[in-house]
Structure 1
Amino acid sequence: MGIWSLLPIACGTSAGDRQLPPYLDESVSLEERIEDAMKRMTLEEKIAVLHAQSKFSSRGVPRLGIPELWCTDGPHGIRAEGAWDEWRQAGWTNDSCTAFPALTCLTATWNPAMSALYGRSIGEEARYRDKDVLLGPGVNIYRTPLNGRNFEYMGEDPYLASRMVVPYVQEVQKNGVAACVKHFALNNQESSRHTTDVDVDDRALYEIYLPAFRAAVQEGGAWSVMGSYNLYRGEHGCHNRRLLCDILKGEWGFDGAVISDWGGTHNTEQAIANGLDLEFGTWTNGLSSGAKNAYDSYHLAFPYLDLLRRGVVSESDLDDKVRRVLRLNFRTAMNTRKPFGSLNSPEHLMAARQIACEGIVLLKNEGEILPINPSGVKKIAVIGENAVKMMTVGGGSSSLKARYECSPLEGIVKAVGDRVDVIYERGYIGGLSPMSDGVVAGYDLSESRTADELLVDALTAARTADVVLFFGGLNKNSHQDCEDSDRLSLSLPYDQDRLIRELAQVNRNLVVVNISGNAVSMPWIAEVPAVVQGWYLGSEAGYALSDVLFGKVNPSGKLPFTFPVHLEDNGAHATNSYMPGPGVNRYAEGLFVGYRWHEKQGVAPLFAFGHGLSYTTFEISDVRMDRDRLTKSGSLHLTARLTNTGERSGSEVVQLYIGDEKSSLPRPVKELKGFEKVTLNPGEERTVNFIITPDDLKYYDDEKHAWVVEPGRFTAHVGVSSADIRGTVAFYYDA
């Protein structure tokens, strides 16, 4: 039975003469349709659309043929179907997805085209599964390397995150699926995430923590935003007047719906007045609360309806919320013109592999041990649990039920075939469970050997190999890149540092592949000739890693955050302002996050923001501007020549940083303001172009509550990382 059979027929008309009511007529403007639907809805129906009806869905208006809304966790793949009112999986057999690389890897591509490919692909999978809202992407800033959820975000720099989030959002939404940008805002740690009250100055708020959200909303056109768990100025992020009403909906003109994080709503009056539109996850424990329907006890359900009926609150806030939810519904569930989706298509798997390859970062390659030539070796020793452990599962809400996951060991074996003897040793124990989040692991993790026996067996295998590939790092267990828990230190867990050092002593041809979404300390860095940052790469992980390790793909990834030598080199920890417990957490480092802090303090990193090597070499030369003065309404044209001076085709990311030589307020030494990824053949050169405008010079004046730029001397720095500048040019700004 379709919608039409439920709608009344006007007197004197036949079924063939029926006309669409305005709210169902897609030739009518969106706002007219919303207003028409609003006029037809009862007070009870308005309340019903503002809160969940199951773990991941909210009610529509059945009487009017307006369907329910269905959300799905992301942002790295479409989560397995869940039970109606429980976190467990529903047990479907047709809900396996393509697992895409984690967003840290996507951002490490420094390529907006890869972000567009990612958004389009994951949007098609969400569309195929008939989901209306994809709960992602995440753009919280990488403030501390201990944050357990950094792997889901887009790094430490607001400009880089802004440029990478926009194509993702745009391409997802072309599928008629809303991107839900999260977690707004200041959700920069997982420990005590429900009880941490962030105290941050306005300069840091506007210059560091808000730009990526603003870009997602104003440039990407995001249809929904998710509030954060933490507090800011004493109010939770899911009903925070300044963040949601003043900034998001006021200053930025956001016309979409604010969705609560699951369990992020705490107060009915604040939820009504402070900007929340759609409430999920508050009390989803079945019927144990004693109500006829637990969802009717949500803050934006019967408690809200009771206040309205008693005249305690006005209907103006209600109508604004309903308009926003209807706008979200009409753009997604009610959109009959959205394209068909697809799931696990060859194109999606190829996209996952391409993004993974572009995001892998070659951190060190002393003596050019990489790439490995299979014809030049007879035996490869693969050491480390992360060579076989599934990484598409675990870590919290981003855990996936992938159609398959190619492990690093599997990828290596398939890459070399029977030409090379590949031997494997576990080396350390990071986990024993054969199941994670309802998914059976692809490798038997049971173990009868002791840690010392594992070490001896690993060293024995390494001694006889031509090359040793160690796969370690973190693993999405609690306190190891995982939602709801932060890391306990910067060090590698499970005594991996000892294992790496001993491997280096028995075989100098050692490559360490760090699988993580976070920086780790490397006290053995001088002893190891080659290091690769391998991220969480999704379904095609093993294939992508083998592509890079054996030279089928020339690595071109760049770090989206700084690797400090010591935890205390990071600004949040140097100022003792990372607080894992509840209470007020003052961001004492202010806007000096990541490389900004390192440069302010003159502390060298282990690996700099933007760092990443290649199997070829590049030269940047002839950095120049068309003139040396910029005016209020003008722009400058900066050019630089990039040349591939090596023997392989490859890609380099040319990065533009700008520094203010003299300012009335403290400013970073320099800040990223542009980048371009360029692919060149050996001997080929290309001119890279950047346009500099007054907006690139501005800082946020918290007293004026405005972005300002002061006249004076500036320097443009062009290089291949924040610490590797190849050319500079000075210019002046005249107001």
Structure 2
Amino acid sequence: MRISMGKMVLWSGAALGAMVLAASTAQAQEAPTAATIKAADARAAATVKAMKPEEKTILTHGIMPMDLGMGNVVIPKDAVPGAGYIAGIDRLGVPALKETDASLGVSYVMGLRKDGATALPSGVLQAATWNPEILYNGGAMIGGEARAKGFNVLLAGGVNLMRDPRNGRTFEYLSEDPLLSGMLVGAAIRGIQSNHIISTIKHFALNGQETGRKYVDIKISEAAAKESDLLAFKIGIEQGQPLSVMCAYNRVGGQNACSNDFLLNKVLKKDWGWKGFVMSDWGAVPGVEAAINGLDQQSGAELDKGLFFADKLADKAKADPKWAARLDNMNQRVLTAIYAAGIDKFPAKGGEKIDFAAHAKVAEETAKQGIVLLKNEGGVLPLMKTAKSIAVIGGYADGGVLSGGGSSQVQGEGGAVYSIPLSGTGVWAGLIGQNYHRSSPLKAITAQAPQAKVTYRDGRYITDAVEKAKQAEVAVVFVTQFTTEGLDVPDLHLPQGQDELIAAVAAANPNTIVVLETGGPVVMPWLPKVKAVVEAWYPGARGGEAIASVLFGDTNPSGRLPITFPASTDQLPRPKLDGSDWVEPNFAGDPTSGSDILHADYDIEGSDVGYRWFARKGQKALFPFGYGLSYTSFQSSGLSVKGLTATFTVKNTGQRDGDEVAQLYLTTRNGEVKQRLVGFARVSLKAGESKPVSLTIDPRLLADWKNGLWTSPKGTYSFALGKDAETLGEKVSITLPAKSWKE
């Protein structure tokens, strides 16, 4: 059910709860609300009063319940192999917390559980749908699978803004824009928490690169942070009501993010009034003082230099009333999350049957909505199902589709169809291996064109690929850019000679189509030589079928870029990745050379992240934020802005049914360039159909953060409808009064 409310066209989580395919026998419930959390907080306070002193450090630390060869870790009998385990308190009816990664599904943990799960497409593909409903559905599905496997905490909700496209975790996150990211992550969290389990939102905050991730110090003004990354978190918390926040590895203003009084105490708990608990990232706790600075729970303590939140914390509480009060508050926050989620009343017992076939359809629909058509010269797409010959080249397209590496890695039953070690030995090397889901684009293409001669070459030998391309009517080249947690990519070119492969095939076949499976933006030196480009990202459990559906027109491509594709790294605020010249990255993130502090200056762009930076600098991107083509055409017109409400009409002016993503931008304020996405709506339209759209503009997007207040000056505010951030259409200017307000 679509309704208009709040800051944009939203989707009713309650109505969708009945629509989402349940992952277990448990009925999907309404996700926790602010009222639910308030009541849970009062109940938690009563439980804390009943706790014995020796019980007060049970909920404040946990382990990784897996044998990773990292020392003598005793794994409790009731633990489920996964990311974390925090013991419960049986006497008080407090259940243990059983945690699993991540935003894209229940983590495969290198196959240690000997099971599989449904892999959603990458976060950036999900964001390319610009559709909160699809994020809710995916969240409800993976939350249900987590519950069915016996977990009650899902370490999901990645919402860090893309400040550098080389970041190895770009694929996990959503976008470069705080409104888009916040609205989408909030929908995903609501879906996850509708299963009586806790979701995090992460990584708090300003976690923008993997190079030196445990010791890079982020320099940014409070105003710039509030107007960008922190705003994304704030909107996500408002929309999703996550019961836990996971803090980040990096430092902010010289302090570890997991021991950062400004971030955790002042912003999150005081200014925002958030009632849940802050868990650490694994191995991110510098010492017991992190508790006073706002951290509530030490996760995976064996990865830290010591167990700080057990005896050391208890000793502090015995000696100092301030520490005793803080310890009570830590427990109250963890208990609030447990009670608000209903973990104690609706325990996740595990062992429930999962309908993987039904859930694969959720993943496939997500992929179909998030695949972006970047180029379609001469209408070469959609392909005709009567094609006589098609050459499929490269990308392991005969076997599967690529997925990103690290803790978010999800694989189905049986594991990856192809698994390629990145480097090194041991368990961490396995965690960042290059893995492919069992969804073959080659098979899906063959099924779409049963009369065609479909051939495949892996692309290792360009001469062989060129010869096969010459023999076919159409050449479809699959290329990959593998990215992973723990490593950044050094540049934005396709690796392993794939740029040269595309150029050679395009020279041999005038109807060359490129399908990109990437974790983020890439440059395209071959772009003028090919007829079509499809950005498929990491498309998940049914990615092959989704790609074929778009190529042959069963799905009208409606994805829009949630991140800017720069023409080169020279256009970035930091053309050279901070630390890449002297740091040899590794998964643990420990320094291997040079100083133990690495500085990244985010004040260069401040709050002007992504398309905002390009607008400020007057630069043209290779493909701008919001960009995406379709097999039909749309027109948005009749823009009217009154106060903070914008209305206009969207019409499908083409011959095919399809979805348009309507985009509304602030362009200038009192004549100064200040581009901001202030509203969006994904609208489904039949050929020739028109629909009205109404958007409510969040006033924070028009304002600056000054002296502890949101402040918008009196003056002229200009707005424009956009096909994307660079292609702006109808414009309207209005006069607004000066205004200041608190968080």
TM bucket (normalised to shorter chain) is: 0.7 to 0.9
2:678 aligned partner: 673
1:66 aligned partner: 94
What is the CA-CA distance between 1:41 and the residue it aligns to? Answer: 2.0
Which residue of 113, 121, 132 corresponds with 2:133? 113
Letter in 2 for 1:356: A
Question: Are residues 310 and 621 of structure 1, via their aligned partners in 2, closer, same or farther at CA, if it must alter by over 3 Å?
Answer: closer
Point out the more displaced range, 677-686 or 501-510. 677-686
Q: Is the 8 A contact 1:100 1:538 kept in 2?
A: yes
1:413 aligned partner: 446
What is the CA-CA distance between 1:251 and the residue it aligns to? Answer: 0.7
Q: Secondary structure at the match of 1:518?
A: coil
Q: Is the 8 A contact 1:571 1:593 kept in 2?
A: no
Q: Deviations over 1:155-206 (max 9, x none)?
A: 1111111111111111211111111111000100001000101001122201
2:374 aligned partner: 363
> What TM-score do the two structures reach when normalised by structure 2?
0.83
1:660 aligned partner: 668
Q: How does 1:595-674 map to 2 (within 5 A)?
A: 595-625=611-641, 635-662=643-670, 668-674=673-679
Q: Is the 8 A contact 1:143 1:572 kept in 2?
A: no
Question: Are residues 353 and 734 of structure 1, via their aligned partners in 2, closer, same or farther at CA, if it must alter by over 3 Å?
Answer: same
Question: Are residues 695 and 214 of structure 1, via their aligned partners in 2, closer, same or farther at CA, if it must alter by over 3 Å?
Answer: closer
Q: Is the 8 A contact 1:472 1:513 kept in 2?
A: yes
Letter in 1 for 2:251: L
Question: Are residues 661 and 712 of structure 1, via their aligned partners in 2, closer, same or farther at CA, if it must alter by over 3 Å?
Answer: same
1:489 aligned partner: 491
| Alignment partners' CA distance in 2, 1:542 and 1:688 | 34
What is the CA-CA distance between 1:114 and the residue it aligns to? Answer: 0.9
2:469 aligned partner: 462
Question: Are residues 319 and 390 of structure 1, via their aligned partners in 2, closer, same or farther at CA, if it must alter by over 3 Å?
Answer: farther
Q: Deviations over 1:323-352 (max 9, x none)?
A: 111222233473424799763444321111
| Alignment partners' CA distance in 1, 2:710 and 2:443 | 52
Q: Is the 8 A contact 1:48 1:301 kept in 2?
A: yes
Question: Are residues 693 and 32 of structure 1, via their aligned partners in 2, closer, same or farther at CA, if it must alter by over 3 Å?
Answer: closer
Q: Secondary structure at the match of 2:718?
A: strand
Which residue of 309, 313, 316 corresponds with 1:304? 313
1:218 aligned partner: 238
1:90 aligned partner: 112
2:225 aligned partner: 205
What is the CA-CA distance between 1:492 and the residue it aligns to? Answer: 0.8
Q: Is the 8 A contact 1:67 1:333 kept in 2?
A: no
Q: How does 1:489-528 map to 2 (within 5 A)?
A: 489-528=491-530
2:549 aligned partner: 547
What is the CA-CA distance between 1:661 and the residue it aligns to? Answer: 3.2
1:425 aligns with 2:457: yes
Question: Are residues 669 and 386 of structure 1, via their aligned partners in 2, closer, same or farther at CA, if it must alter by over 3 Å?
Answer: farther
Q: Identity, % of aligned pairs?
A: 36
What is the CA-CA distance between 1:572 and the residue it aligns to? Answer: 3.0
What is the CA-CA distance between 1:555 and the residue it aligns to? Answer: 0.3
2:271 aligned partner: 251
Which residue of 702, 720, 725 corresponds with 1:722? 725
| Alignment partners' CA distance in 2, 1:217 and 1:239 | 20
| Alignment partners' CA distance in 2, 1:483 and 1:276 | 23
Gaps of 5+ in 2: 1-35, 66-83, 414-436, 584-596, 739-743
| Alignment partners' CA distance in 2, 1:542 and 1:401 | 15
| Alignment partners' CA distance in 2, 1:657 and 1:235 | 35
Q: Deviations over 1:95-136 (max 9, x none)?
A: 311111111011000111111111111111112112111111
Q: Is the 8 A contact 1:73 1:135 kept in 2?
A: yes
> Of the two, which has the highest radius of gyration?
1
| Alignment partners' CA distance in 1, 2:233 and 2:292 | 22
Q: Secondary structure at the match of 2:150?
A: coil
Q: Is the 8 A contact 2:246 2:281 kept in 1?
A: yes
| Alignment partners' CA distance in 1, 2:369 and 2:559 | 5
Point out the more displaced range, 236-245 or 668-677. 668-677
1:3 aligned partner: none
Q: Is the 8 A contact 2:131 2:682 kept in 1?
A: yes
Q: Is the 8 A contact 1:427 1:457 kept in 2?
A: yes
Gaps of 5+ in 1: 1-25, 83-87, 290-296, 429-453, 476-480, 628-634
Letter in 1 for 2:712: V
| Alignment partners' CA distance in 2, 1:604 and 1:466 | 34
> What TM-score do the two structures reach when normalised by structure 1?
0.84
1:263 aligned partner: 283
What is the CA-CA distance between 1:577 and the residue it aligns to? Answer: 7.2
2:6 aligned partner: none
| Alignment partners' CA distance in 2, 1:258 and 1:201 | 23
Question: Are residues 32 and 725 of structure 1, via their aligned partners in 2, closer, same or farther at CA, if it must alter by over 3 Å?
Answer: closer
Q: Is the 8 A contact 2:280 2:299 kept in 1?
A: yes
Letter in 2 for 1:44: E
Q: Deviations over 1:209-267 (max 9, x none)?
A: 11121122233111001000000111111111100000011111111010110101111
Q: Deviations over 1:425-463 (max 9, x none)?
A: 1113xxxxxxxxxxxxxxxxxxxxxxxxx1111111101
Q: Is the 8 A contact 1:176 1:335 kept in 2?
A: no
2:741 aligned partner: none
Q: Is the 8 A contact 1:71 1:135 kept in 2?
A: yes
1:42 aligns with 2:38: no
CA RMSD of aligned residues (A): 2.3
What is the CA-CA distance between 1:283 and the residue it aligns to? Answer: 1.9
1:583 aligned partner: 598
Q: Secondary structure at the match of 1:686?
A: strand
| Alignment partners' CA distance in 2, 1:546 and 1:392 | 15
What is the CA-CA distance between 1:688 and the residue it aligns to? Answer: 2.2
What is the CA-CA distance between 1:412 and the residue it aligns to? Answer: 1.6
Matched residue pairs, number?
A: 644
What is the CA-CA distance between 1:566 and the residue it aligns to? Answer: 0.7
| Alignment partners' CA distance in 1, 2:323 and 2:693 | 57
